[in-house]
């Protein structure tokens, strides 16, 4: 079973890089560049995990995260936040709002991959999670 | 020979005559017709109460015993009167300006209106005067007995006689001394009576003298020879005693309560002093001129053992000159009665004002405040005081018994009252004198005087005898007759030097060591510098202040509410229906106190004084007020300045803090932005470089594409860093401009060439016909201006979202500026974002981040400001329109 990842990111180059990395790891990646419509995309696509940039056009990634956590349908959905701001308080805010992980740009590809795999495994939907049924 | 009853009848008739004169004078004064009463002659004659029965009879006795020493009693006052301009004038001036009622009041007023000091002086004066009054009673009874006892078989009861005399004098004093409470404490009836008595005693003594010189001796030449031959000529005078007694009598005339009464209180015109200055010494000269002849003839003609104190009376009697003797009797009677009357009046004023009334007020305050007729109480207090003083004198006379003891009392009493001299003189001439100093000095001198003179003379036979002869607790050097090792010296001189000396030293030392209260300070200034601010010696007005004026003033200082409450309370306390109290002294005092709490004592005193008729408001007052006000103002303006400074500083601090907070927020935002702008391309670079490093599953096309992304992002990073540095330099003003003369076309062409090389340039069509456009020389930094143009052109290239993007560049010349307009055909900048576009890191919503860091317009605007021009967004036209303006005056300016 392939994990479905929704990537919400407005920087085209970063989008391309992450998509490439995750696809190569066997995940199905859909990208979305607009913060305002990200929640609809979540409903439509029903991903196993969301990689969410903080600084998005039109709507902040933190706002989207808050909405996800307050909706029963998505409150348990794993979210990995991406940020280029790199300040401790941003990280605390994100984790406080219920993000599963927090990645500061620039990140190591393998590290990102490890984190995603780890989260997905914990949720029992990991790529290699056959044992979990 | 006159019978006893005849003598009594004459005395009673004489007293009745005095009553008549006094009544008549009071009546005339009431009608304002008694101008003669306010003449210098009456004033001078009233001063003659200095010569009492003690001097009337005793001077001859003293001459018979001690030679010319009696002259010292006149010498001191003569010196004081000759120097009237320095001391007496000041005393009188202060007395009228300060409404002084007695010597105790004088001392108390000078030292901050101290009630305690007034009480001390009053007690001292009563103690000093009581033996003196007793002395007068004795002289009257003695003169009676001189008349009667040798001739009539009738037994005369001395004691009963003394009681009658005392009672009569008390009645006279009460009738003419306490008819009403005059603010000025003047008594025209009484003064005219004692003036008449002065004439009687003078003529009586002169009559005896004339009789002695021409009737008993053979004229002046014979008299001189008799004097030469008499024992008086051989009596050598004691120089120290002369100086001491002269000083003592000089002090006494200033300090004796009765002298103060006639000298200061009863004075109606300061100019009378100038007359009295020679007339009074002349009076004393006349009254003493026949003393030595009478004494000499008395010693020669009278039997041995006859009392020299009565020579004046017994000489005419021995020659059968009954009428002359009767005249002398009346003279002595006058001397005694005038002294007793004035002394009793002066002492009663002090007793009632400084002891009885304060005690009565304190005692009744709680039960029934301010009720009853205060005037009635005050008058009753005086009347009872007069009776009390008479009773004291009488009691002392009866208890002391012997004539020797009484005769010695004159000088002792002088020294007692002289104890207030240091405080009085210090108060007149030394501003540094304080209440504590005055009180300590007076008490010290009084104690020494009482121990060394009063007790040994008054109570030598009584219970204290052992203590006095053996010393207290057996300490011999404390015995009065050998105090501090002064055994064998003249007791009077010793006591005088010790008591006045210690008094003065203590007064000065304590004054220097203590601080005066504000009122003391103020009063001190008014006393010492009385001539600086008072003018004509005209009558002193009673308080004329209206309650309305006072209320207006009180409102200003206390506030309307508090002032109204104060006045209302006072009005109710006075039993008035309205809210306006009478401006009574009590009320004024209270008001002054209330005001003093707000504006300081000197100011309050001066303000109340000004409204109530100028009493005591003087240059000195105003200076004191000015000092006080200046201090307060200086202090408050300092405070004001300080608080204004503090407020300014606080405002500045708040402002700076606000700015710092904003700057801090801006800095955080800026750092955050920079972090974002730097990390974003670095993320791509890192991610793709790691992909390239792993390189599995990657074809050449992919590898080439990723390499290009890495390359582009690296360039983006470089650009960003360049822009940041550029902006930093521009913002800090550290930019170095390299101006030169160029044409606008040259610069614009350079920019167009630079932008055409960019890959985005292909999309945008630029409409700019330099062949027809206006052109001109400008003096500017061509590279920087070109940078602005490039920014604007590349913005249009990047952000113009029209299907066929076009940019129109127009050059215009206005009177002051060269204008270059860049207008694209896009949607323009949304209104809400127009204010932000020149801020750092601002990108419009919807623009692609990769296109720039958002520093271009910020940098361009900074550059235009450095070049003296401006860069603005033009909102009125369709599309995004930017206008660059360059000042023309910059052209060729160099």
Of B129-138, B529-538, B727-736, which range is least confident? B529-538
Lowest mean pLDDT among A67-71, B336-340, B347-351, B536-540: B536-540
Q: Is B658 exposed, middle or buried (0-12, 13-18, 19+ CB in 10 A)?
A: exposed
Q: Could you tell me which chain A residue has the CA closest to the CA of B674?
A: A85
Task: Please name the residue of chain B whose CA is at the shortest distance from the CA of residue A53.
Answer: B680
Judged against a pLDDT cut of 50, whether residue B538 lies above it is answered with: no
Whole-number percent of chain B with pLDDT over 90: 6
pLDDT at B825 over 80: yes
Binary contact (A12, B697; C-beta < 8 A): no
Cα distance between residue B161 and residue B138, in whole Å = 10
At B465 the pLDDT is: 61
Report chain B residues whose CB lies below 8 A from the CB of A85: 672, 675-676, 679
Cβ within 8 Å of A, B 697-726: 697, 709, 712-713
CB pair distance less than 8 Å for B709 and A87: no
Inter-chain touch A11–B849, beta carbons under 8 Å = yes
pLDDT for the residue numbered B541: 36
Q: What is the pLDDT of residue B543?
A: 45
Could B846 and A12 be called an inter-chain contact, meaning their C-beta atoms sit closer than 8 Å? no
Q: Give, to the nearest 10 degrees, the angle between helix B601-611 and helix B585-599.
A: 140
pLDDT for position A115: 92
Confidence of residue B757 (pLDDT cuts 50, 70, 90): confident
Mean pLDDT, residues B664-672: 78
Residue B537 has pLDDT above 70, yes or no: no
Q: Which domains does chain B have, with CATH numbers?
A: 4-405 (1.20.1730.10), 541-617 (no CATH), 653-727 (1.10.287.130), 736-890 (3.30.565.10)
Tokens encoding B844? 């419009």
CA-CA-CA-CA torsion for B156, B160, B161, B167, nearest 10 degrees? -170
Q: What is the pLDDT of residues B212-229, one digit of tens each?
A: 888 888 888 888 888 888
B708: nearest CA partner in chain A: A13
Structure-model confidence comparison of residues B475 and B84, the more confident one: B84
For residue B448, pLDDT beyond 80: yes
Task: Provide the 10 A C-beta neighbour count for residue B23.
Answer: 15
Asked whether residue B171 carries a pLDDT value surpassing 90, the answer given is no
How sure is the predictor about B440, in pLDDT bands with cuts at 50, 70 and 90?
very high
Q: What is the pLDDT of residue B31?
A: 73
Q: Do B687 and A58 touch (CB under 8 A)?
A: no
Nearest to A85 among B675, B697, B712 (CB): B675
| Contact list, A108 vs chain B (CB under 8 Å) | 686, 690
| CA-based nearest distance A88→chain B, Å | 11
Per the CB < 8 Å rule, is B845 touching A20? Answer: no
The pLDDT assigned to A3 comes to 87
Q: Which residue has the tokens 């109570």?
A: B459
**B887 neighbors B869 (Cβ within 8 angstroms):** yes
B266: phi then psi, degrees, rounded to nearest 5: -85, 0
Cis peptide bond prior to A106, omega within 30° of 0: yes
Specify the pairing of strand B870-873 against strand B765-767: unpaired
Residue B68 has a pLDDT of 82
Round to whole Å and give the CA distance between B357 and B365. 12
Confidence band (pLDDT; 50, 70, 90) for B207?
very high
pLDDT band at B846 (very low <50, low <70, confident <90, very high): low
Write out pLDDT tens, residues B287-304.
888 888 888 888 888 887
- Mean pLDDT score across all residues of chain B: 79
Closest CB from B679, B845, B848 relative to A105: B679
Residue B368: predicted pLDDT: 43
Mind listing the domains of chain A with CATH numbers? Answer: 4-127 (3.40.50.2300)
Q: Structure tokens of B862?
A: 């900074």
- CA B680 to chain A, closest CA, distance in angstroms equals 6
Find chain B residues with C-beta within 8 A of A107's C-beta. Answer: 683, 686-687
Chain B's closest residue to A103, CA to CA, is: B683
Confidence band, pLDDT 50/70/90 cuts, at residue A29: very high
Q: What ipTM did this prediction achieve?
A: 0.89
Q: Is the pLDDT of residue B357 over 60?
A: yes
List the single best residue of A7, A14, A61, A86 to mutate versus B (max B Cβ within 10 A). A14
Residue B260: count of CB within 10 angstroms of its CB: 29
Per residue in A72-94, pLDDT tens? 888 889 999 988 876 777 788 88
Question: Which has the minimum average pLDDT: B530-544, B595-609, B677-691?
Answer: B530-544
Interchain pair A13, B713: CB under 8 A = yes
A128 — pLDDT class (breaks 50, 70, 90): very low
Residue B367 has pLDDT above 50, yes or no: no
Composition of chain A by helix, strand, coil, percent to 5: 45, 20, 35
Question: Distances from the Cα of B46 to the Cαs of B49, B56, B264, B820, B878, in angstroms?
Answer: 6, 16, 11, 114, 116
Q: Is A15 in contact with A52 (CB distance < 8 Å)?
A: no
Residue B70 and residue B242: Cα distance in Å, rounded? 9
**What are the backbone angles phi and psi of residue B206, rounded to the nearest 5°?**
-65, -40
Q: Name residue A30's beta-bridge partners.
A: A6
Contacts with B676 from chain A: Cβ below 8 Å: 55, 84-85
Reported as a pLDDT band with limits 50, 70 and 90, residue B117 is confident
Split at pLDDT 50, 70, 90, the class of A130 is very low
* Structure tokens given for B503: 């008094």
CB contact under 8 A, B680 and A108: no
Between CA B607 and CA B613 the distance in angstroms is: 10
Report, in angstroms and rounded to the nearest whole number, the Rg of chain A calculated over CA atoms: 14
Smallest Cβ–Cβ distance between B688 and the set A17, A85, A110 belongs to A17
């Amino acid at each position: 079973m392939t994990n479905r990842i929704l990537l919400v990111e407005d920087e085209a180059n970063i989008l391309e890089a992450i998509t490439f990395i995750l696809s190569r790891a066997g995940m199905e990646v859909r990208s979305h560049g607009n913060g305002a419509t990200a929640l609809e995309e979540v409903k439509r696509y029903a991903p196993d995990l969301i990689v969410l940039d903080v600084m998005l056009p039109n709507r902040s990634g933190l706002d989207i995260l808050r909405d996800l956590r307050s909706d029963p349908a998505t409150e348990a959905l794993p979210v990995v936040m991406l940020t280029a701001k790199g300040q401790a308080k941003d990280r605390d805010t994100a984790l406080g709002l219920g993000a599963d992980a927090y990645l500061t740009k620039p990140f190591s590809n393998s590290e990102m991959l490890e984190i995603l795999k780890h989260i997905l495994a914990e949720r029992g939907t990991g790529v290699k999670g056959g044992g979990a049924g | 020979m006159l019978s006893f009853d005849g003598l009594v009848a004459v005395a009673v008739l004489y007293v009745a005559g005095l009553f008549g004169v006094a009544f008549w004078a009071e009546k005339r004064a009431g009608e304002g017709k008694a101008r003669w009463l306010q003449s210098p002659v009456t004033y001078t004659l009233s001063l003659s109460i200095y010569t009492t029965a003690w001097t009337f009879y005793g001077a001859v006795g003293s001459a018979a015993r001690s030679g010319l020493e009696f002259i010292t009693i006149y010498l001191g006052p003569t010196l004081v009167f000759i120097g009237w301009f320095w001391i007496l004038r000041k005393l009188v001036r202060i007395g009228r300006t300060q409404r002084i009622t007695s010597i105790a009041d004088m001392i108390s007023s000078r030292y901050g209106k101290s009630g305690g000091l007034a009480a001390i002086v009053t007690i001292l004066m009563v103690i000093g005067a009581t033996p003196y009054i007793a002395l007068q009673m004795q002289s009257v009874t003695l003169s009676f007995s001189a008349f009667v006892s040798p001739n009539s078989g009738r037994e005369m009861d001395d004691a009963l006689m003394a009681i009658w005399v005392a009672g009569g004098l008390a009645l006279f004093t009460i009738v003419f001394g306490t008819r009403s409470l005059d603010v000025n404490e003047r008594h025209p009836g009484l003064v005219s009576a004692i003036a008449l008595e002065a004439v009687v005693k003078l003529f009586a003594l002169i009559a005896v003298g004339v009789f002695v010189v021409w009737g008993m001796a053979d004229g002046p030449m014979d008299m001189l020879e008799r004097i030469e031959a008499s024992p008086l000529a051989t009596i050598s005078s004691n120089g120290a005693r002369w100086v001491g007694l002269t000083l003592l009598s000089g002090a006494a005339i200033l300090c004796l309560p009765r002298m103060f009464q006639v000298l200061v209180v009863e004075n109606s015109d300061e100019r009378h002093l100038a007359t009295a200055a020679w007339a009074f010494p002349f009076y004393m000269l006349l009254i003493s001129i026949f003393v030595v002849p009478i004494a000499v003839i008395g010693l020669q003609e009278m039997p041995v053992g006859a009392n020299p104190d009565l020579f004046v009376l017994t000489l005419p009697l021995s020659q059968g000159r009954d009428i002359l003797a009767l005249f002398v009797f009346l003279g002595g009677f006058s001397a005694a009665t005038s002294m007793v009357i004035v002394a009793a009046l002066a002492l009663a004023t002090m007793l009632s004002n400084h002891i009885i009334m304060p005690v009565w007020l304190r005692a009744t305050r709680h039960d029934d405040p301010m009720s009853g007729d205060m005037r009635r109480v005050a008058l009753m207090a005086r009347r009872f005081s007069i009776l009390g003083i008479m009773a004291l004198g009488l009691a002392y006379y009866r208890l002391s018994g012997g004539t020797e003891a009484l005769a010695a009392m004159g000088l002792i009493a002088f020294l007692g009252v002289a104890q207030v001299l240091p405080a009085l003189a210090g108060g007149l001439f030394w501003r540094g004198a304080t209440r504590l100093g005055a009180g300590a000095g007076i008490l010290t001198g009084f104690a020494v005087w009482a121990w060394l003179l009063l007790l040994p003379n008054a109570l030598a036979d009584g219970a204290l005898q052992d203590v006095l002869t053996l010393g207290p607790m057996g300490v011999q050097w404390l015995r009065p007759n050998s105090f501090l090792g002064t055994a064998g010296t003249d007791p009077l001189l010793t006591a005088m030097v010790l008591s006045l000396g210690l008094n003065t030293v203590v007064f000065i030392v304590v004054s220097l060591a203590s601080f005066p209260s504000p009122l003391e300070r103020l009063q001190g200034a008014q006393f010492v510098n009385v001539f600086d601010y008072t003018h004509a010696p005209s009558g002193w007005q009673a308080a004329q202040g209206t309650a309305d004026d006072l209320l207006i003033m009180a409102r200003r200082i206390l506030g309307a509410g508090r002032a109204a409450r104060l006045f209302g309370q006072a009005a109710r306390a006075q039993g008035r229906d309205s809210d306006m109290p009478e401006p009574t002294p009590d009320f004024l005092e209270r008001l002054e106190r209330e005001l003093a709490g707000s504006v300081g004592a000197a100011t309050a005193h001066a303000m109340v004084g000004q409204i109530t008729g100028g009493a005591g408001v003087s240059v000195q007052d105003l200076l004191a007020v000015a000092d006080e006000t200046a201090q307060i103002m200086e202090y408050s303006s300092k405070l004001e300045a300080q608080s204004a400074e503090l407020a300014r500083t606080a405002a500045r601090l708040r402002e700076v803090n606000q700015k710092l907070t904003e700057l801090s927020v801006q800095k955080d935002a800026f750092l955050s932005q920079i972090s974002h702008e730097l990390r974003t391309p670095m993320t791509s670079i890192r991610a793709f470089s790691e992909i390239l490093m792993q390189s599995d599953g990657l074809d050449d096309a992919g590898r080439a594409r990723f390499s290009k992304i890495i390359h582009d992002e690296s360039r983006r990073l470089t650009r960003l860093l360049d822009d940041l540095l550029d902006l930093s330099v521009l913002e800090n003003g550290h930019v170095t401009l390299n101006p030169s003369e160029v044409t606008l076309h040259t610069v614009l062409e350079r920019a167009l060439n630079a932008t055409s090389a960019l890959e985005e340039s292909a999309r945008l069509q630029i409409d700019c016909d330099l062949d027809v456009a206006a052109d001109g020389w400008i003096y500017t930094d061509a590279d920087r201006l070109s940078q602005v143009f490039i920014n604007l052109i590349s913005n249009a290239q990047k952000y113009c979202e029209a299907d066929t993007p076009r940019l129109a560049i127009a050059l215009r010349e206005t009177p002051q500026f060269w204008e270059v307009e860049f207008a694209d055909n896009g949607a323009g900048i949304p209104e809400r974002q127009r204010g932000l576009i020149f801020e750092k890191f601002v990108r419009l919503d919807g623009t692609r981040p990769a296109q720039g860091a958002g520093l271009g317009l910020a940098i361009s605007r900074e550059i235009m400001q450095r070049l003296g021009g401006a860069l603005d967004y033009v909102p009125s036209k369709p599309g995004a329109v930017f206008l660059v303006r360059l000042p023309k005056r910059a052209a060729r300016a160099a």
